[in-house]
Amino acid sequence: MRALVQRVSEASVTVDGTIIGQIGPGLLILVCAMQGDTADKPAALAAKIAKLRIFRDEAERMNRSLLDVGGAALVVSQFTLAADTSRGNRPGFSAAAPPADGEQLYEAFAEALAGLGPQVERGRFGADMKVALVNDGPVTIWLDV
């Protein structure tokens, strides 16, 4: 699985003009299931992200995790993270998991993350979503597990 994690002061996702997920301080997590991902990947990715020390401590150093600060997470599926741009100008997405597998792994990731304690809001798999965020820092981290 692949994720792009952004530390945010706020974020939301809108579908058909309606906000379906919204958080204050925490993480916006764009998630992509990749070809060959196994059932253990969602929990591994959730644990890595929950413990990722990218929030400021009292000394203003990135030394605290989402769990440490009690932040929330907005989890949004994004198959375009699998883009292959090695040839030509049109990205290919064949490295992404098929939609049925991708949805199952996305939901398993969101459940695993929620099981670790943070409030988890979600986008809608396969929907045309409008994502708004205020990136805090900015801090943006790319993860593969």
In this structure, the number of other CB atoms found within 10 A of the CB of residue 81 comes to: 20
Q: Which of 6, 55, 78, 109 is catalytic?
A: 78
In this structure, the number of other CB atoms found within 10 A of the CB of residue 13 comes to: 24
Angle between helices 99-115 and 41-51 (to 10 degrees): 40
Which residue type does 58 have? E
Catalytic residue check, 6? no
SS3 content of the chain, % helix, strand, coil (to 5): 25, 40, 35
Helices assigned H by DSSP within the chain:
41-51, 66-69, 99-115
Q: Which of 6, 55, 79, 109 is catalytic?
A: 79
Q: Are 46 and 53 in contact (CB under 8 A)?
A: no
Q: Which of 35, 80, 93, 140 is catalytic?
A: 80
Catalytic residue check, 38? no
Catalytic residue check, 78? yes
The residues carrying an active-site annotation are 78-80
